[in-house]
Amino acid sequence: MHSIPGRRIIISLFLIFLLLPIYWLVNMSFKTNGEIVATMTLWPHQPTLENYIRIFTDESWYSGYIHSLNYVVINTVISISVALPAAYAFSRYRFLGDKHLFFWLLSNRMAPAAVYALPFFNLYSAIGLFDTPWAVALAHCIFNVPLAVWILEGFVSGVPREIDETAFLDGYSFPRFFIKILVPLIGSGIGVAAFFCFMFSWVELLLARTLTTVNAKPISAIMTRTVSAAGMDWGLLAAAGVLTIIPGALVIWFVRNYIARGFALGRV
C-alpha cells in the first residue's frame, strides 16, 4: 500500500546516479596517466596499482591519512563526552535560560566555517596549538558538540523517566547511575552521535587546512596541493580520493542498521 508506482525504476536510477561518479573515480585510480589522457575507456585496459603504491610508500601522502584520523578521533571523543551530561540536563531538567542556551548551541552548528577560519588561525597560533591535531579537533567542536547534544537529547528523552527514579531509589549515586544505567540504555544513540561527529569532522576541509601546515596536515589538504600543481596527476589524485572514501564506507557498514533512525536524530 505504501509503495508508489514505478518505485523500482526510481530507486535504481537514483542509485546509478549516485554510483556512477564514484565508479569513474575508482576507474581512474587504476589507470596510468597515459591511458587517462590519451583514450576514453570505460574500464582500465592496462590496470595498474602504481598510484596506490605511490601513496602507501610516500610518507608525505600516507601521513595525511594518519593526521586526519587523528583529529577526527580526538574530536569525536571530546564531543561525545561533553555532550552526554548536557543532553541529559536538557532532556530532564528545566533551568534558567535552558531554551536560549539550546538555541545558542544549535546556532553554532549553523555558523559558516569561513567566518571562523581567520580568528581560529589567530587563536590557535596564540596558544601554541597551531599545526597540531588538537587545534583541528577543538575547532571542529564548534559544530560537532551542538550536533552531539542535539542527537543525544533525542535519545535520552526516549528513556522513560521512571528508570531514573527507580535507580535513585535503589541508592545509585548520580555518576554511577549515569555510567551504569543511562549510557548502556542509549548505546545506539551514542553510536549514532559518534557516527555524525566522525562524519562532519572527516569531511570538513576549510578549517582543517587553515589550522595546519606540515605536522598535522590532513589528507584532503594534501590533495588540494596536488590539484593546484602544474601538470595534473589525475591517476594519483583519483587514488587518493578513493582512499578517503574507504573509512566512511567502513563506518557506514558498521552502523547500517541504525542509519535510518540515526539520520532522524533519534526524534521521529
Name the residue nearer to other proteins (CB basis): 15 or 53. Answer: 15
Q: How far is the CB of 93 from other proteins (least distance, A)?
A: 4
Nine-digit cell string for 195: 557516527
Name the residue nearer to other proteins (CB basis): 49 or 118. Answer: 118
Non-local (6+) Cβ contacts of 216 within 8 A are: 67, 70, 71, 131, 132, 133, 135, 136
Rounded CA separation 247/149 (Å): 24
Which amino acid is residue 153, in one-letter code?
Answer: E
Name the residue nearer to other proteins (CB basis): 138 or 167. Answer: 138
Query: Closest Cα to residue 206, out of 130, 122, 148, 120?
Result: 120
Going 202 to 205 to 211 to 213, the CA torsion angle's sign is positive
Name the residue nearer to other proteins (CB basis): 214 or 249. Answer: 249
Going 26 to 17 to 253 to 135, the CA torsion angle's sign is positive
Name the residue nearer to other proteins (CB basis): 73 or 89. Answer: 89
Q: How far is the CB of 20 from other proteins (least distance, A)?
A: 7
Q: How far is the CB of 180 from other proteins (least distance, A)?
A: 17
Q: How far is the CB of 217 from other proteins (least distance, A)?
A: 13
Q: How far is the CB of 139 from other proteins (least distance, A)?
A: 6
